[in-house]
Amino acid sequence: MITLASELQKRKEKTEFVLNNITNLPAVPRILKETLELLNDSSVNNNELAKSISKDQGLVVKILMIANSPLLGLYRKVTTIDYAILVLGHNEIKNIVSVLSVIESFKNKTDKYLNEKEFWTHSFLTGMASKRLADDFGFPNKGEAFIAGFLHDVGISVIHKFFHSKFIEIYKQANELDITYQEAELNVLGMTHQQVGHYLIERWDFPDPLCDAILNHHNPENSVSNKTLTSIIHFADYMTQKLNIGNVSWDNNIQLNVEELGVLKIKNLEEVDDFISNYEDLYKNQLESIRYFN
Ligand SMILES: [Fe+2]
Ligand SMILES: [Fe+2]
């Protein structure tokens, strides 16, 4: 299917117009909002924070699950929220509550075109793996890696929720014609899910490197503000496909850009294979622990 540049531009403008007019994003749940406010206030102590979080047992369970994640690699079992705050620290708890807020705000219906649980499992696994990669490669901002990894495909969720009939069209084209999801996205929307996600994240005022990682997670060579972060997300995402763990259909044709992995000091495919095989058990165990997430 050949699409003229002018036609593509028209579709892009139309999609951007709809995105611009999404003013009714669901509100963040009250306890999450309160907790985020407390976390933004540096004078708040651990007790106050634990008290606020404890009002929502669902939140407690999820934070404990994340604190005990295999990819996080803590040595002692975390069984109480007070201990979780102590070992993870305020920033880490803030990251976790932020991503949980995004899940809540984007709660979507599962249909035959997108399985909600599968989507968030992929997002969460990529987020945890990105954080672990950041750790292994000595990238200082692990929290940013977690959030960027978690949100890398948020554009998919946006398309499914706000452009539902277009989502179905993309799904059909990708499954019935011999083209990739990204080609189908461009055919239908004039934009890829990376661009849609980026558009939204920018509107939410996320920091530049995070926006860049979301925009370029399939093409880290285009990254401008932080190649290392973007390459980490690219690699974590690719590993879900390669290991066939927590992978999703729209990522089926991800091509690993080994050259860009140079910033992570991985030089060739052999090293990539070795590296990935070392992560296999971590991914498997992590997937097992995510089962209790939703
Ligand atoms: Fe993607
Ligand atoms: Fe992905």
CATH code (residue 185):
1.10.3210.10
Domain boundary among 76, 105, 134: 105
* Furthest-apart CA atoms within the chain: distance in Å: 60
- Kindly state whether residues 98 and 140 are assigned to the same domain: no
Which ligand ends up closest to the CA of 241? 2
**Ramachandran bin of 138, using left for φ above 0, alpha for ψ from -120 to 50, beta for the remaining angles:** left
Residues 22 and 34 in one domain: no
- The tens digit of pLDDT for each residue in 27-47 reads 556 666 677 777 777 788 888
Same-domain pairing of 192 and 269:
yes
Chain segment 72-95, per-residue pLDDT in tens: 777 788 899 999 998 888 888 888
pLDDT digits (tens, 9 = 90+) for 164-206: 999 999 999 999 998 999 999 999 999 999 999 998 888 777 7
Structure tokens at 53: 């979080």
Single residue among 81, 105, 129 that ends a domain in this structure? 105
d(CA 23, ligand 1 centre) in Å = 24
Residues 80 and 10 grouped into a single domain: no
CA 81–ligand 2 middle distance (angstroms): 30
Phi, psi (deg, nearest 5) at residue 212: -60, -45
- Neighbouring residues of 40: CB distance < 8 A, sequence distance ≥ 6: 94
Nearest ligand to the C-alpha atom of residue 149: 2
Q: Two tokens at 110?
A: 């599962």
Q: Which of 105, 124, 146 delimits the end of a domain?
A: 105
Q: Which residue in 254, 154, 164 sits closest to 197, CA to CA?
A: 154
**∠ Cα 44 48 52 (to 5°):** 120
Q: Are residues 114 and 36 in the same domain?
A: no
Assess whether 145 and 87 both reside in one domain.
no
Distance 52 CA to ligand 1 centre (A): 35
53 with 19, same domain: the answer is no
Domain count, the chain: 2
106 near 193, Cβ under 8 Å? no
Euclidean distance between CA atoms 96 and 50, whole angstroms? 14
Task: For residue 122, report the distance from its CA to the centre of ligand 1, in Å.
Answer: 10
Q: Is 274 found in the same domain as 191?
A: yes
| Residue 22 and residue 67 in one domain | no
Residues 254 and 152 in one domain: yes
Q: Are residues 98 and 114 in the same domain?
A: no
* pLDDT tens-digit map of 135-164: 888 998 888 898 899 899 999 998 998 899
Closest by CA position to 130, among listed 145, 120, 151: 145
Distance between CA atoms of 173 and 188, rounded to whole angstroms?
A: 9
122 and 13 together in one domain: yes
Residue 130's domain comprises 5-26+110-290
This prediction's pTM: 0.86
